[in-house]
Amino acid sequence: MRNAEVADLLVEFADLLEARDVEYKPNAYRRAAENVRDHPRAVEDMAAEGEDAVAEIDQVGDAIASKIVEYVETGEIEELEELRTELPVDMAALTRVEGVGPKTVATLYEELGITTLDELEEAAEEGRIREISGFGAKTEENIRENVAFAREAGERQRLGHARPLADDVLAFVRDVDAVGRAEVAGSIRRWKDTIGDVDVLVASEDGPTVVDAFTDWPRADDVIEAGEQKASVRANGVRIDLRVVVPAEFGAALQYFTGSKDHNLRVRNLAIDEGLKMNEYGIFDISDVEDPDADQRAGERLGGATEAEMYEPLGLPVFAPEIRRDTGEVQAALDGELPDLLEREDVRGDLHTHTEWSDGGYTIEEMVAAAAECGYDYHCVTDHAAGPGVFGDAGLSDDDVREQAEAVERVREEADIAVFHGVEANIDADGDVTTSDDLLAELDIVIASPHAALDQGEATDRLVRAVEHPHVDVLGHPTGRLINQRAGLDVDFERLAEAATDAGTAIEVNANPARLDASGDGVRAAVDAGAPIAIDTDAHSPSEFEYVRYGVHTARRGWAEPADVVNTRDADGLRSFLDG
Ligand code: DGT
Ligand code: CA
Ligand code: CA
Ligand code: ZN
What was the pLDDT predicted at 395? 92
What was the pLDDT predicted at 2? 80
H or E segment and range at residue 380: strand 378-384
CA pair distance 239, 216, nearest whole angstrom: 15
Q: 196 CB under 6 A from ligand 1?
A: yes
Q: What is the CATH number of domain 3-154?
A: 1.10.150.110
What was the pLDDT predicted at 34? 87
Q: Are 210 and 182 in contact (CB under 8 A)?
A: no
Q: Are 495 and 460 in contact (CB under 8 A)?
A: yes
Amino acid code (one letter) for 320: A
Q: Which ligand 1 atom lies nearest to the CA of residue 156?
A: 4
What was the pLDDT predicted at 391? 72
Q: Confidence class of residue 81 from pLDDT cuts 50, 70 and 90?
A: very high
Q: What are phi and psi of 439, to 5 degrees?
A: -70, -45
Summarize the confidence of residues 407-422 as an average pLDDT: 97
Q: Could you check whether 157-245 and 250-334 share the same CATH topology? A: no
Q: Which ligand is nearest to the CA of 198?
A: 2
> Ligand 1, from 158, 163, 199, 323: best to mutate by most atoms within 8 Å of Cβ?
199
Each domain of the chain, given as residue ranges in start order, spans 3-154, 157-245, 250-334, 344-579
Give per-residue pLDDT as tens, 110-153: 999 999 999 999 999 999 999 998 888 888 988 888 888 788 77
Q: What are phi and psi of 157, to 5 degrees?
A: -100, 155
> Ligand 1, from 158, 163, 257, 281: best to mutate by most atoms within 8 Å of Cβ?
257
CA pair distance 413, 519, nearest whole angstrom: 37
- Using CA of residue 484, residue 486, residue 490, residue 495, what is the dihedral sign? negative
Give per-residue pLDDT as tens, 168-187: 999 999 999 999 999 999 99
Higher-confidence residue of 375 and 58: namely 375
Residues around the ion ligand 3 (C-beta < 5 A): 197, 199, 241
Mean pLDDT of the chain: 95
CA of 246 to the centre of ligand 2 (A): 21
What was the pLDDT predicted at 486? 84
Residues in the chain: 580
CA pair distance 427, 447, nearest whole angstrom: 10
CA of 188 to the centre of ligand 2 (A): 7
What was the pLDDT predicted at 3? 87
- 344-579: CATH, from 3.60.21.10, 3.20.20.140, 3.20.20.80, 3.40.190.10: 3.20.20.140
CA of 256 to the centre of ligand 2 (A): 12
Q: How far apart are the first and last CA of the chain?
A: 53
Q: What is the CATH number of domain 157-245?
A: 3.30.460.10
What was the pLDDT predicted at 1? 65
Amino acid code (one letter) for 429: A
Give per-residue pLDDT as tens, 196-216: 999 999 999 999 999 999 999
Superfamily of the domain at 250-334: DNA polymerase, thumb domain (3.30.210.10)
Percent share of the chain, pLDDT over 90: 86
Q: 261 CB under 6 A from ligand 1?
A: yes
What was the pLDDT predicted at 394? 81
Asked if residue 264 has pLDDT above 90, the reply is yes
Q: 197 CB under 6 A from ligand 1?
A: yes
Residue nearest ligand 1's atom 14 by CA: 186
Q: Confidence class of residue 89 from pLDDT cuts 50, 70 and 90?
A: very high
CA pair distance 505, 245, nearest whole angstrom: 49
Task: Dump strand ranges (E) for 334-377.
Answer: 349-350
Contacts of 388 (CB under 8 A, 6+ apart): 426, 428, 429, 434, 451, 452, 453
HEC readout, 325-350: CCCCHHHHHHCCCCCCCCCHHHCCEE
CA pair distance 331, 266, nearest whole angstrom: 10
Is beta strand 276-279 parallel, antiparallel or unpaired with respect to 282-285?
antiparallel
What was the pLDDT predicted at 303? 97
Read off the pTM: 0.86
Asked if residue 547 has pLDDT above 90, the reply is yes
What was the pLDDT predicted at 24? 83
Cis peptide preceding 260, ω within 30 of 0: yes
Which of left, alpha, beta for 317 (phi over 0: left; psi -120 to 50: alpha)?
Answer: beta
Q: Which 3 state secondary structure label does DSSP give 378?
A: strand
Give per-residue pLDDT as tens, 458-484: 999 999 999 999 999 999 999 999 998
CA of 257 to the centre of ligand 3 (A): 8
What was the pLDDT predicted at 236? 86
Q: Which ligand 1 atom lies nearest to the CA of residue 265?
A: 29
Burial code (b: 16+ CB inside 10 Å, e: under 16) for 226-252 equals eeeeebbbebbbbbbbbbbbbeebbbb
